[in-house]
Amino acid sequence: MEYVTQILLVLALVFVVALGVFVLAVLLLFAIDRTQTGDAIRRNYPVIGRFRGLFSTLGEFFRQYFFAMDREEMPFNRAQRDWVTHATKGKGNTIAFGSTRNLGVPGTPIFVPAAFPPLAGQFAPTDPMVIGSGARIPFEARSIYNISGMSYGAISRPAVEALSRGAAEAGIWMNTGEGGLSPFHLSGGCDIVYQIGTAKYGVRDGDGNLCDDSLRAVAAHENVRMFEVKLAQGAKPGKGGILPGEKVTPEIAAIRGIPEGRDSISPNRHADIDDFGELLDVIGHIREVTGRPVGFKTVVGSSLVWEEMFERIVARGAASAPDFITIDGGEGGTGAAPMPLMDLVGMPIRDALPRMVDLRDRYGLKERIRMIASGKLMVPGDVAWAICAGADFVTSARGFMFSLGCIQALKCNRNTCPTGITTHDPRLQRGLVVEDKYKKVAHYAQSVISEVEMIAHSVGVTEPRQMRRRHVRVVQADGSSIRLNESRPSYNTNTAL
């Protein structure tokens, strides 16, 4: 009994001490909050006002896992993320009981089923398509769906390795992003598209100018199939790349040719490209030096502006044209961008893509210039829509991030990514096991392609590139729908509308 009494006395003493510490902490916080001047809520409501910030921080978590419906979240909802997750397992991706998608939302694409679709034995393979037939070393691209630009720096070493190996497994290409070519891009043996950003990382001289010797060195890698001059990306048109200094490791600094530990901020545009004539000159120069197909990536604000480029191409001759144009929608993503640019600048891909396809076709360059669509196109329906609208290829970055295990934690710019994808913290990178993830990358790509082919068969054609604008309808404000070729008539006179 005496032993029990002693335990109770000790517990009581601990409780009193803990209570005292708690009261002192509350009084200290009260004094801090009352005297600080930066936060009006905390100044007027000491201690209690702190919960507002806590709940705001936790709100993102609770909305994602408890309160948001499957189709409500942005930038990608749970239904989309779940589709990718199931696709990475390579075991089929069916659902039950009915669609959860609201088909009455204006702009929703609805594919037109054929009365008598082709039988299984009538399906045709999606043949490879040549890009840059006039280059010394054209690229025969095998896949309609590929990996968009993500630089080593923006994403981690194991993420790059898994993407490279997964791309090789699936037979798709991988874009390096603007951070240069790392050994990890090459490790899987996949086809590589080398992106030249405004800072020209990896192919610049000591003054930051384009270096022919460096271009030749990059092109000497057999896996480097094409070069892409990045004029702009959807999340931040008119703003260069941003890589926080804490992510500029010694290795990344060496690959990019920049100081270690300092913010890597690219110019907002190429200093040596002031107009469309100079753009064509630079593209032609890179193509001549490397022998590889060369194109560019941009964001469209007005298709009228781009008419001048096509006029110059016609005047100079088709050989002067870029081998491909990548159109990124204004809704495109990135790890770090100012909110006004991310939210407010640039046409969405569903407006921009048909406009640029029509310009290309109007000037008779359909067979010369391949069109690549990018910007939140990560599930089969979006990819199929882009092909119907005129894209020859579709690329995605965030779709493949989800295939690596991204949980949309929205911490890409903080070096604290909990899945190891966008962090250079070795402890967090440990969670991304390349041997497992590369298979998921491949399964995801194969699933997208397979289901795009399934949509193509449903609308009555034997392979995806036979789809046209008449094969998809778009929901209008009154709930009715019209064919895409009614709202966006094609300028291509050589194929059925």
Query: What pLDDT shows up at residue 233?
Result: 78
| Averaged pLDDT, 406-423 | 80
Of 167-176, 389-398, 479-488, give the lowest mean pLDDT range: 479-488
Is the C-alpha dihedral spanning 473, 300, 163, 81 positive or negative?
Answer: negative
Question: Which of the two residues, 497 and 469, has the higher pLDDT score?
Answer: 469
Look over the chain and give the mean of its residue pLDDT values, rounded to a whole number: 86
Answer whether residue 333 shows pLDDT above 70: no
| Averaged pLDDT, 391-410 | 89
Query: What pLDDT shows up at residue 294?
Result: 98
| Averaged pLDDT, 417-435 | 87
> Is there a contact between 186 and 152 (Cβ–Cβ < 8 Å)?
no
Query: What pLDDT shows up at residue 494?
Result: 42
Residue 493: band (very low, low, confident or very high) from pLDDT cuts 50, 70, 90? very low
Answer whether residue 475 shows pLDDT above 70: yes
Q: Copy the structure tokens of residue 319.
A: 């050989």
Of 236-250, 266-280, 443-457, 462-476, give the lowest mean pLDDT range: 236-250
496: Cα separation from own chain's centroid: 31
> Is the model's pTM score more than 0.75?
yes
pLDDT digits (tens, 9 = 90+) for 3-58: 778 777 878 888 888 888 888 888 888 888 888 877 777 777 788 877 766 666 55
Residue 495: band (very low, low, confident or very high) from pLDDT cuts 50, 70, 90? very low
pLDDT digits (tens, 9 = 90+) for 165-181: 999 999 999 999 999 99
Residue 312 vs residues 124, 140, 306, 316, 365: alpha-carbon distances, Å: 38, 27, 10, 6, 12
CATH number of the domain at 120-487, out of 3.40.190.290, 3.20.20.70, 3.90.1560.10, 3.30.310.50? 3.20.20.70
Residue 415: band (very low, low, confident or very high) from pLDDT cuts 50, 70, 90? confident
Query: What pLDDT shows up at residue 308?
Result: 96
Query: What pLDDT shows up at residue 263?
Result: 82
For the chain, what percent of residues have pLDDT higher than 90?
51
Query: What pLDDT shows up at residue 9?
Result: 80
Is the C-alpha dihedral spanning 51, 52, 57, 63 positive or negative?
Answer: positive
Highest mean pLDDT of the ranges 112-121, 140-149, 296-305, 419-428: 140-149
Bond into 464 cis (ω within 30): no
Query: What pLDDT shows up at residue 59?
Result: 57
> Is there a contact between 268 and 198 (Cβ–Cβ < 8 Å)?
yes
Is the C-alpha dihedral spanning 470, 475, 481, 486 positive or negative?
Answer: negative
